[in-house]
Amino acid sequence: MTMKLITPFLLVTALVACGPSEPPKQEANVPTVDELAADPARLKELRRQCKTERPTMGDVLCNRVAEATNKRFFGDGKVPYTPSETPPKF
């Protein structure tokens, strides 16, 4: 009789323990990608810190630092391709 009561109780306990965890909190004071891209000295320092101290810096900030680095390197992506007037001769 007790085995019939214990099994559902253990099943319910296991399901409750495996429930969804709370989502990570977004930090309100994390600068935007544009703000980081506009300040190269700060971006360089934050890149160094994210390489060595990522757990303490946080994923949100380090991901934005990476995006800002890419934005500074690649630009805004609106540079048109202008081929030369004469085609190359092979």
Rg (CA), the chain: 26
Tens digit of each residue's pLDDT, the chain (90 residues): 566 778 877 777 776 777 666 555 555 688 999 999 999 999 999 999 999 999 988 899 999 999 999 999 888 777 777 778 888 888
pTM of the model: 0.57
- To 5 degrees, how large is the angle CA 59–CA 56–CA 31? 55
Gap between the Cα atoms of 47 and 90, Å rounded: 44
Instruction: State the Cα–Cα distance between residues 20 and 8, nearest whole angstrom.
Output: 20
What pLDDT sits at residue 44?
95
